[in-house]
Amino acid sequence: MEIPVTSAGAMFDQAVFCVGQASLAGKWQFLNDRVCEIVGHPRQELLESSERYMTHPDDRAATHEVVRRLLAGETSLPSLENLYVRKDGTIAWAKLCVSLW
């Protein structure tokens, strides 16, 4: 039986977990459908905003600190638990792993 080869793009799009890339300024560069499902915002709306747009206000300082530590070389693969504000106003929880590439 031959196993079909899946492209990296298909793996990204079909992942059961959220995958995205943001610029150092926090602006989304790309994200998969799962991100949109979790936070309840349409893809285009997210791409036109920054990651901070959906981060719960109580978690913004912690997120900023993780990015600061990463850029300062104090950590190589930090993770944190974040709350996100969904489009309908409800809250979604996610574990965020951050890396530079």
Least confident stretch, 3-7, 22-26, 30-34, 53-57: 3-7
Measure the CA–CA gap between 32 and 15, rounded to whole angstroms. 8
pLDDT at 74: 93
As its CATH architecture, domain 29-97 has: 2-Layer Sandwich (3.30)
Each residue's pLDDT tens digit, 63-96: 889 888 988 999 888 888 889 999 999 999 988 7
pTM, full prediction = 0.73
